[in-house]
Structure 1
Amino acid sequence: METSLYLPVKTFLEEAGYTVKGEIGGCDLVGVSEADPSVLVVCELKLSFNLELILQAVDRASVADEVWIAARVSAKGRGRESDRRYRDLCRRLGFGMLGVADNGEVSVIVGSVVPMPRTNPKRRSRLMREHQKRKGDPAIGGSTRTPLMTAYRQQALGCAAVLAGGPLKVREIRASVPEAAKILQGNVYGWFERVERGVYGLTPAGHEALERWQR
C-alpha cells in the first residue's frame, strides 16, 4: 500500500524543516516551511516509479514551490530509479526523487529544483489554507476510497460535538467553532437541523458521525 510510504517520507520532510500533512487537495503529502515567505512542498507516492507518478508531479508543479516523487526502491535494482533516462527526466522537469527502502530508510535519488514557476496561484492558496486550517495530521497520505478528515469536516464535527447535548443557539456554538453559522446553514453532511430561528440541533446522522469519527 502507498500508505506504507507515508510516515518515512513525512519524517524525511519534517527533518528538512517542513510541517507535513497528508491528503490535502488531492496531494499525498503537503509540506509548508516556517520561512518567510513560506515554501510549499508537494510529494506524491507510488509503490514503484512509473509514468503515472511523473504525470501527477506535472499536475502538482503548477501549485508547489518544490515537487517530489517517492516510491519504494527495487531490492534487485531493477526499478525505474535505476534508469538514467527516468532520472534525467525528473531533473529536466525539476522534480526530486526519493527512494524508500524496505526498512523505511529514505534516500535522495534526484534533488528538487527550487523554486519552481507557479502557474496556478489560486489552487496554491487553497492548499495553503487547508494546510493551515486542518488540525493535526488526521489523514494518511496515499489513502484512497476512504472519506478524508478535512478542515471543514473537523469544524463540522466540532459543531456536532457541541450539539450532542441538545439544541443550542448559533452564538453559543460559535464560541467553540468560529465558522459555525456557515457550517450549520450549509449542512453539507446532513448532520444538523434548524429547530427554530437561530437554534440548531443534531440529526441522527450527526450522532452517527460523532460515533464514527471520534472512535
Structure 2
Amino acid sequence: MQETSLYAPVKRFLESLEFTVKGEIGNCDIVAVRDGEPPVLVICELKLQFNLELVLQGVDRAAACDEVWLAARMSARGKGREHDRRFRALCRRLGFGLLAVSGKGEVELLLSPAALAPRRDPKRRSRLMEEHRRRRGDPVVGGGSRAPIMTAYRQDALACAAAMTDGPKRPRDLKTISPRAASILLDNVYGWFARAERGVYALTEGGHAALQRWPQVAHDQG
C-alpha cells in the first residue's frame, strides 16, 4: 500500500469543502485553494500512519499556507496514534487538522484546523499559489515521489513540443500555446529542443520520447 492510495479520498473530502485540489506542488502532497478575498491555501500531507514525521512535515509547511491538514490510514485495530489523546492534543496546539482514511476509502474528520497565526513565509506561499494557478488540471497523484512531477512548466514544455511535431518553430509561433515559450526553448531544461537555425528550434529525440511518455498531457495542453 502506498501513500498515493490516500490521495483520491482526501481530494474528494477537500473538494466537498469547496477547495480546488492538486497533487505534488512544491514538495507538498496536496495543495488546495478555495476562492475568496483573500483565497484560502491549504497544504495536506499524507502518510500511511500517524507519526512524528507527519507532524514535522506539517510544522515545515505551516509558514507557507493558511491551514495544515494531516491525513493517514486509519489503524485496523484502533490502536494507532489517531486514538492517542496526546497526539491529538499536540496537533490541536499546532492548529493542524487531522483526517483518517479507512480501508474502504472513507474519510473521518478527527480534528478541524484551528485559526492560529503562525509566522508566514510570503514568498513560499506565493510560489505555491502561482504553481497551483498555472498547473492545468490535476495531473499528479499526491503522495508519490518517484515519478517526475508534472509541473506547470513541464506541461507548457510538452505543449510546445506537441506543436513542433510537424516541423521546427520560432518562439513567436508558440506564444499562443505558452507565454513563456521563448524561455522554454532557450533554456531547454529537459533537452527536448535543439536550435535548427537562428531563431528556429526543432524537437530532439528526447522531445519525441517525452511526447510518447506523456501523450495525453501533451494532447490536453496543445
Question: TM bucket by the smaller chain?
Answer: over 0.9
Deviation at 1:75, TM superposition (A): 2.2
Structure 1, residues 13-42: CA drift from partner, whole Å, max 9, x if none?
Answer: 000010000000000000000111100000
Partner AA of 1:195 in structure 2: A
Structure 1 ranges of 4+ moved more than 3 A: none
Kept after mapping to 1: 8 A contact 2:192/2:204: yes
Question: Is 138-147 or 114-123 further displaced after alignment?
Answer: 114-123
1:90-129 correspondence to structure 2 within 5 Å: 90-114=91-115, 116-129=117-130
Partner AA of 1:210 in structure 2: L
Deviation at 1:118, TM superposition (A): 4.0
Q: How many residues align?
A: 215
Alpha-carbon separation, structure 1, partners of 2:140 and 2:117:
26
Alpha-carbon separation, structure 2, partners of 1:20 and 1:147:
19
- Could you say which residue in structure 2 is the equivalent of 1:181? 182
Partner AA of 2:56 in structure 1: L
Aligned to 1:108, the other structure's residue is in SS state: strand
- Could you say which residue in structure 2 is the equivalent of 1:31? 32
Alpha-carbon separation, structure 2, partners of 1:105 and 1:63:
28
Kindly tell me: are residues 68 and 80 of structure 1, through their superposed partners in 2, closer, same or farther at Cα, counting changes over 3 Å? same
Alpha-carbon separation, structure 2, partners of 1:25 and 1:13:
19
1:193-212 correspondence to structure 2 within 5 Å: 193-212=194-213
For structure 2, the residue ranges without an aligned partner over 5 or more in a row are: 217-222
For structure 1, the residue ranges without an aligned partner over 5 or more in a row are: none
| TM-score relative to the length of structure 1 | 0.97
1:120-159 correspondence to structure 2 within 5 Å: 120-159=121-160
Is 1:76 matched with 2:90?
no
Alpha-carbon separation, structure 1, partners of 2:48 and 2:42:
20
Kept after mapping to 2: 8 A contact 1:54/1:69: yes
Q: Percent identity?
A: 61
Kept after mapping to 2: 8 A contact 1:63/1:124: yes
Kept after mapping to 2: 8 A contact 1:66/1:116: no
Aligned to 2:64, the other structure's residue is in SS state: coil
Deviation at 1:116, TM superposition (A): 3.8
- Could you say which residue in structure 1 is the equivalent of 2:51? 50
Alpha-carbon separation, structure 2, partners of 1:171 and 1:202:
16
Deviation at 1:115, TM superposition (A): 5.0
Partner AA of 2:66 in structure 1: D
| TM-score relative to the length of structure 2 | 0.94
Report the aligned-residue RMSD. Answer: 1.0
Alpha-carbon separation, structure 2, partners of 1:13 and 1:175:
33
Aligned to 2:184, the other structure's residue is in SS state: helix
Partner AA of 1:81 in structure 2: E
Partner AA of 2:86 in structure 1: R
